[in-house]
Amino acid sequence: MKTLNFILFSCALVFASLSLKANVAYSAVGSKDFSAVEYKGLLHSLNNVCGDTWCSGDFEYLIDQVSCRWNSRRCQVDLTIQAYPNIISNDAGEEIGRQTFPKRRYACNLDGFKKKGDVLRVSPVNVADGPDAFLNFRYTEKLYDALTSCIQDNMEPIASVLRFQNELRVPFSSWTLSRPVACEKQNPAPRRLFTDYYFTLADRKNFALVALLDAQGLDAAEGSCQMKTETVEPKAIRCTSDNLPVFCEVSVSDGVYLISKDYVDSTQVSFLPQSSDVMKLPPIRAEFDSRPLHLPNPAFCSSGLLANYSGDSSAIAVDLSRFLSYQDPRFIASRALRDWVQGLVTSLKSDDCQWQTETLPASAMSCSALSQGTLCTLKSSAGGYFRIYLGNKGPAWLFFQRYD
């Protein structure tokens, strides 16, 4: 089974038109691994060959950066991918509109490169010194073959799922993720996705990782970040098995990603950073099952709960440390939900968002342990259902999902 080596990279880039190659300006500084003129020639040659190979299909690629670690025999190629626009024509064949698609940024880890000559060669052009001297340098066949393999075997299958809702051709064994850290421009969590590709991904773990790649690829096109790389194995992914839509956690070294899908086509991707303080939750106590939970009735504040989320679902991070004296996690979750909705009522001051409670027995809220926290679900709320993820370290996330 082939390993999917996906690296999610984040860095700001502005394009002058829908074409990724339009008005490409290569860095005058270049990479520390090459001189400025060598680096410009390397990027120019890679992007110049794109139209004859990778970009001849449904997607266009822009090679943004090449960096190498010779002692590790590895190079990283960062690139932007975008599906070609869908042209809408009339009966006469005239264009009357076009549907465009977002850019996403990823990268390939390429092994076996131990010296500059493995990556860069002198071009037969032999241009004299001057503004076009970069044309004297171009990629090697070794680099071309490795990058082609990564794009065709790894990137294009995921891009096809996101663009065309195709089935995932290559199941994952492990994925190498490079996540944005220390971003100058960071998308505020959570990232809300339109995940109509869910219906072609029967395996919940596959869906969780595709959604994570979707979210991080979009984030990567919008910010300027340093990158952190690590491998995610299947055992790092835990998903619920209830009859509600998918909820998965993807554990990484400094926290956990939460993938929460609703009944429609929306999915929230949230990140829960790890804290040095361990939040020790009380155990679920069966003797409390009949005790009342005083819960907000979402039907009286649905506009507030779903505001700015296109009416599908919403999520918010909260600090629950002050509630740890409660004797059962269900009462912690109940208090967090009350505070959330009461805060909305106070801030919105709208007739469409009113405070109304409903009382249910504690047994109406089911809780189960995942790898990095406890997930509690309240299925019987009017107008929608709540999920509450209580992390073992750091804050918690509250989710509200509408039923239809």
Q: What are phi and psi of 96, to 5 degrees?
A: -120, 0
Q: Hey, how many other C-beta atoms are within 10 angstroms of the C-beta on 238?
A: 21
Q: 315 and 186 in one domain?
A: no
Q: What is the DSSP string of 114-174?
A: -SGGGTEEE-TT-PPSSTTGGGGEEE-HHHHHHHHHHIIIIIHHHHHHHHH----SS--S-
- Per-residue pLDDT of 154-204, as tens digits, reads 888 889 999 998 887 766 676 666 666 656 665 556 888 989 898 888 889
Predicted confidence (pLDDT) at residue 248 exceeds the cutoff of 90: yes
| Residue 322 domain boundaries | 286-402
pLDDT of residue 170: 67
Q: Which contiguous run of DSSP H or E holds residue 215?
A: helix 204-220
Q: 302 and 209 in one domain?
A: no
Q: What are phi and psi of 143, to 5 degrees?
A: -65, -40
Sign of the CA dihedral running 226, 218, 207, 308? positive
Sequence-ordered alpha helix ranges (H) in 234-367: 302-305, 329-348
Residue of higher predicted confidence among 220 and 10: 220
Q: Structure pTM?
A: 0.84
Q: 196 and 53 in one domain?
A: yes
CA distance 389 to 400: 12
Angle at 206 between CA 205 and CA 208, to 5 degrees: 65
- Per-residue pLDDT of 17-61, as tens digits, reads 233 443 444 443 446 789 999 999 999 999 988 766 787 788 999
Give a yes or no: residue 106 inside a domain: yes
Domain boundary among 176, 202, 227: 227
Give a yes or no: residue 222 inside a domain: yes
Give a yes or no: residue 18 inside a domain: yes
* Number of domains making up the chain: 2
Q: 337 and 193 in one domain?
A: no
Confidence of residue 311 (pLDDT cuts 50, 70, 90): low
